[in-house]
Structure 1
Amino acid sequence: MTITQLQYVLAVAEYQNFTLAAEKSFVTQPTLSMQIQKLEDELDILIFDRSKKPIQLTEVGKKIVDQARNIVNESGRIKDIVDQQKGFIGGEFKLGIIPTIMPTLLPMFLNNFIRKYPKVNLKIEELSTEAIIQKIQEGHLDAAIAATPLHNENIKERVLYYEPFVAYIPENHRLHKNKKVDATDLNIDDILLLEDGHCFRDGVINLCKNVKAYQDDHFQLESGSFETMIKLANEGLGMTLLPYLHTMDLKENEKQSLRFFNEPNPAREVSLIYHKSELKIHIIEALQDAISGIIRGAIAFQNVEIISPVR
């Protein structure tokens, strides 16, 4: 068997279609089908049940795919070893970033990184934490930037920074007069939340420690963006919580509604995450250095309490 055959098997397992798998693998469909057939003949088993639509893995095929993914990942280590030996930092690198981090962090480090490492072909995708975990495990992402800890045995985490939560409390709100706030001051019933699927939303719910009240609430107002939540808060529909970096771009009049928490500041842990196989670790380390060097000057908070992003 060959690495190429195993790559073709992984493609068909993912797309459940020989034609689409061939297209994504940049080969003709007959070539891909023939190589998979040769592998099945050699092993004297069927990896795929072709009678089903879409194509399904057989029971033994599922085990083969799990092992094939390990083998293909490990084969990538050889190029990594050579690149590190030569001191070469380059090639394609697929990076995922969650939506509540991407608009504030990416502009801070991207220019410096591509200027310092011009041979890295960085491909960046905005994804939910759930999609990121799946893509890292399937080998479709080299790394990602997300809120942690995720408690996933297949994923390693390198902490980049701790980002405090900041309350946005408009003039008409009961807490506006407070110079600082405590988590005990919060009531989930009047906090505007991001829509489901955002880990920052889960962090806010964990901070309030009042999930039952939230679930029983007869009025729920959710949004996909912090900008919308700020506008809704200004209209008298409640308050909201923001990540610290997002507050730096607010208008001066909006900053008057910001309230920091009493110490320890509730905060989210932001990390660079990647598969435990540690492929392309030299690029991961370069990314970590680039981001950490810039972020130190932006966030000076030390006394923080990490709020889990996992519900």
Structure 2
Amino acid sequence: MGALVPPSGVIILFALLTETSIGDLFVAAMIPAALAVLLYFGAVFVIVRWDPNAAPEANGSSLSDLWPALKGSFPVVLMFGVVIGGLYGGLFTATESAAVGAVGAFLLALLRGRLNRGAILRVFSETTATTAMIYALIFGGLSFAFFINMGGAPEMVSAWIASIDARPIFILTLLIIIYLLLGSIMDSFGVMIITLPVVTPIILDLGYDMLFWGILMLVVVEIGMITPPFGMNLFIIKSIDPNVQLSTVMRGVLPFILADLLKIILLVAFPALALWLPSTM
């Protein structure tokens, strides 16, 4: 879900590469993200009902620990609501909302007494490294898109797609399958940088909204990263506990892949899931 829940670096990169509003994409991702949570809850519920031994048994103190956990997370939830709510309500722009979030996080850490010289230096170091990486990706992506457009590749591919004389939903399904395959062997940033210069004109020619395609593409690419046999995140999970077999990890992720495929079907069948909230801004 990392690609969907704001503030998502993948959404920001997509917005910069396609010149789409970052704020609109953040808002468009809210309902699909909530839908993903519900579908994952549903997958867990079905699995546990089918096989009660598939999950650890809850102890008696688990419910009593729920309220302190919710109370402790309330400031973070409040900060998220202020940032995204202000963005949705038009109180500030995407850049201003980032400033509000940064100041809010600083004040929250200050009130919790967790700020010291080492923590501040570590945050500065990690932020600098992340920002440098993102800008390197952006510069590389824009340069790649420039040369791709100079070579006329998007126009050639668009003309070839138009010559197929197929329904737009067929082309969209074909693109979804391609992105599922690419996502299983590459990370989200790499997939977007390589494909967006070619795919964006095709999507626009088919008559699809860029916000809808942005959210759908992010969902599909993230699914690819947990899809056997080449899903990158499967190997990351396996590395956490070397005693767990990779086949066990692959079997365990299958119900959630089915939930994600259902999410794709719902997004394609009902584009309003991604487009309704931005239309009310």
Provide TM-score, normalisation by structure 1: 0.20
Provide TM-score, normalisation by structure 2: 0.22
Q: Which has the larger radius of gyration?
A: 1
Higher-RCO chain (CA-CA 8 Å, sequence separation at least 6): 2
Point out the structure with the larger strand share.
Answer: 1
Point out the structure with the larger helix share.
Answer: 2
